[in-house]
Amino acid sequence: MRKEERVERVLNVIDEMFPDAKCELKHKNPWQLLIAVMMSAQTTDKSVNAITEHLFQKYQSVDDFANADLKELENDIRKIGLYRNKAKNIIGICQALIRDFNGEVPKTHKELETLPGVGRKTANVVLSVAFEQPALAVDTHVERVSKRLKLAKKDDTVLEVEKKLCKAIPRQRWIKTHHQLIFFGRYFCKATSPMCLECPLFDICNDPIRLKKKPIEI
């Protein structure tokens, strides 16, 4: 199968499976999204949402976070991983937004990546979700699915995966495909116990899970 055919098939399948895929991090504005995405590193969106439901009620503005007590904020988010570093970054992000961007979330990669704890993936998510700019963020789900479906090589870096996806997928589909690949990886092509037997793309998978035979009962 040619690469173009493989890409088209993958896009068609995930489009049919997850036509309404979207960002699952709860937020009401760009700065809430920015904080939620940064907090989601090495934890689930569900865990972040459980925290931000109360966090965004307590801290209702960029100024509130910028002036937050570090120890108190650590305690507020302590149920998620790396909470100490994330609390420090939240305060740093909001102080930088006030100092450098008039309290507004910037709309370029270069500016976003000057903020504490904000890397390329977070910047891509904010640009695409908050500002509807074409971007294709590569998280653990997108990376895993892309390599399993031979859209990227197993030893490709995250940046290499992103470049290959952006080259192969039409620009106008980047945002939609990002969410659909996440849903496919999160709910179907899981890191462990993927639903291989039900997968419509099993025949082109680069890493199909070998099903172990059940021991014969005597």
Q: Quick one: which of 168, 143, 140, 141 has its CA closest to 153?
A: 143
Pick the CATH number of 3-21+136-204 from 3.30.1130.10, 3.40.1350.10, 3.20.20.140, 1.10.1670.10: 1.10.1670.10
Mean pLDDT in residue range 190-210: 85
Residue 156 annotated as catalytic:
no
Least trusted range by pLDDT, from 126-130, 144-148, 203-207:
203-207
| pLDDT, tens digit (0-9, with 9 covering 90-100), for 155-196 | 999 999 999 999 999 999 999 999 999 999 999 999 888 998
CB 194 within 8 A of CB 208: no
The CATH classification number of 30-131 equals 1.10.340.30
List, as one string, the DSSP characters of 115-167. STT--HHHHHHHHHHHH--------HHHHHHHHHTTSS-TT--HHHHHHHHHH
Residue 107 annotated as catalytic:
no
| pLDDT, tens digit (0-9, with 9 covering 90-100), for 109-142 | 999 999 999 999 999 999 999 999 999 999 999 9
**Please, what is the average pLDDT of the chain?**
93
The CATH 1.10.340.30 portion of the chain extends over 30-131
Which one of 121, 154, 155, 167 is the catalytic residue?
121
pTM: 0.89
| pLDDT, tens digit (0-9, with 9 covering 90-100), for 82-104 | 999 999 999 999 999 999 999 99
Which one of 22, 76, 100, 139 is the catalytic residue?
139
Mean pLDDT in residue range 61-80: 97
